[in-house]
Amino acid sequence: MCGIAGIVSLGDTSLENQVGAMIDAQAHRGPDAMGIWTDDRCALGHRRLAIIDLSEAGRQPMSNDDGSLWVTFNGEIYNFQELRLDLEGKGHHFRTRTDTEVIIRAYEQWGIDFLAKLRGMFAFGIWDQRKRQLLLARDRVGKKPLFYTQAGNRFLFASELQGLLADKSIDRAVHLPAIDAYLTHGYVPAPYTAFRGILKLPPAHYLTLDVNPEGMKIGTGRYWSLNYAPKLRIREDEACEALREKMTEAVRLRMISDVPLGAFLSGGIDSSIVVGLMAHLSDRPVKTFSIGFKEAEYNELDHARRVAQKWSTNHHEFIVDPDALSILPRLVRHYGEPYADSSAVPTYYVSQMTRQYVTVALNGDGGDESFAGYERYLGNYLAERMQAVPGVASAAKALSRVIPDSINPKSRMRQAHRFLSVASRPMANRYARWLTYFQEETKPGLYSREFISELGGLHDGWLNSVFAELPRSEPPLHPIDVAMAVDVVSYLPYDLLVKVDITSMANSLEARSPFLDHEVMEFAAQLPVEIKVRGRQLKYLLKRAFADLLPPENVNRRKMGFGVPVGEWFRGPLRGLLYDQLFSRESVNRGYFQETEIKRLVDEHLEYRADHSFRLWNLLMLELWHQEFIG
């Protein structure tokens, strides 16, 4: 796991110093070593977190035998040993034990088609001197980030926005449509960033930059997508056996390491399965790490301890309290653009604690999106069923007016109210409503006239286009499959995976996710929904296939999610911070919002008349980002 950067230029001669500043800004991603390589057109930089082959032979940037190819690589190729054997059989000779060298040899052998052969998480740049071509690529689901910009006669790329912004000539102008997207979703989806001139390469994509005397030509392409049809014809017991085999292999591959490793353990189904498989595959106790809160309704430590005791792990815990929010400015700097998932705070602290003991940590990310773990998936299915019966959807909407909302974000009453109020809407609109902070109908009252004018008016939400771009199938996909497919290309890569990459790498920790193995995901996507969900029981197949690894008390409890009690913190120790930031002169003068609407949201929340905790956190993080990067 590392930090990478690079520059391609048509005439600049100080490339080494420039790329040096870019990788220095990402030193936290690779504290073990640094390297720079340049020729007359390209400079590649690398910060190394040594995981495989800790010797000097593993240093990057790395070249092929004649120096015509150079690579800077961030991530892990889990099938590198298998690929190496294949390449050796084709006449290639290796100087190191690294997966980095496998990338170079695979590119020599197969060209750009080698991307489909990689099994892992990655972002890399390859400079081909003969072609005068730069190739950038990201892994299938977006575990590893990659940003780029073209500024005049220069093209720059880096693992983090900090790397690009280390170059003072890069324009920091705010991209207002990205701010609108952030306020809607809590993140900025690719290809955009919060900066007008900087883009992010989407997951499962590659970019080519061809350089010639006349200029630079950029091309992009997609090399993978997840298919939910046709469905496998498979018995339930066969599905359990196949899933057990695939997950065991995915965990085994991610335990290959020349440095100590452990696991995040939340007490949920997914991380518990990973820890159980690690215990079976290891000849020593697994090191596990959990995070908790003083507020009981957010605390899962008892469930994590139950799993730790079952497998006699070497277990560690950390309690997050409001004082822990002193790290907010640091998080804002690391994310580089506005990011509104408050669970980044505990994820940062569990990463910090974990790094004191190990360099690699496995986690349960991705289990929900492949095996139907979110209650909104059932809600999406139920709403479609209701709409098929004349009169039922309109009756549900009327009932929503009778059922009171609740200020408790975990209340079943609130959940029922949210479901019934949108059950009659089209699927894309309904699902977006469950996943957004500020909905389209609320924005005219929130945004100032000036902001709306600069945006060029209000537009349909980004998730509508995600739904529209889903592949059509016959028969149509099950509503639960549709919801999972949308999450895999939106919520998963731009919220969850960004959170874990930034918080773990800020602590020089590598996070690995067996459930995000593309072979596991492809198998899960082609399973019939009826095998993954049984009645109202989510993750039915997962629970049955791994029943022996899970404490019975953990299996059927309600999913808690990785929530943070920011609502109560805003009413208590963070009250002053909220007022100071949202009503500062700088915030008001920025002119994005109608001040009276911001005051209404704050007052209703503080006076227990409504729960606006997520919206207020969204606004707070936007303001802190402006202060850090825009001024």
Question: In Å, what is the CA distance from 480 to each residue of 45, 268, 380?
Answer: 43, 21, 7
Whether the bond between 338 and the residue before it is cis, its omega within 30 degrees of 0, is: no
- Would you say 49 and 4 are in contact if contact means Cβ atoms under 8 Å apart? no
Helices (H), 372-528: 375-387, 392-402, 412-422, 427-435, 443-446, 449-455, 462-468, 479-488, 491, 497-505, 518-525
Residue 189: both structure tokens together:
């989806």
SS (H, E, C) 210-255: EEECCEEEEEEEECCCCCCCCCCCCCHHHHHHHHHHHHHHHHHHHC
- Rounded Cα gap, residues 564 and 401, in angstroms: 29
**E strand or H helix at 531, and its extent?**
helix 529-532
CA-closest candidate to residue 78, choices 119, 33, 109, 111: 119
Whole-angstrom distance, CA of residue 119 vs CA of residue 96: 19
Q: For strand 2-9 and strand 120-128, is the pairing parallel, antiparallel, or unpaired?
A: unpaired
| 42: annotated active-site residue | no
Q: Which helix (H) or strand (E) holds 596?
A: helix 595-606
| Catalytic choice (2, 488, 502, 574) | 2
Give Cα separations from 97 to 35, 298, 325, 409 (angstroms): 18, 44, 42, 50
Tokens linked to 308: 């730790």
CA 355 to chain centre: 20
Task: Please compute Rg for the chain using Cα positions.
Answer: 24
Place of tokens 């081909």: 128
Alpha helices in 69-150 (DSSP H): 80-89, 99-110
Query: DSSP letters along 269-306, please?
Result: HHHHHHHHHHHHH-SSPPEEEEEEESSGGG--HHHHHH
- What sign for the dihedral angle of Cα 563, 569, 570, 576? negative
- Per the DSSP assignment, residues forming a β-bridge with 318 are 291
DSSP per residue over 557-580, as a string? SPP--S---HHHHHHTTTHHHHHH
Residue 486 region, left (φ>0) first, then alpha (ψ -120 to 50), else beta?
A: alpha
Q: Which residues are catalytic?
A: 2
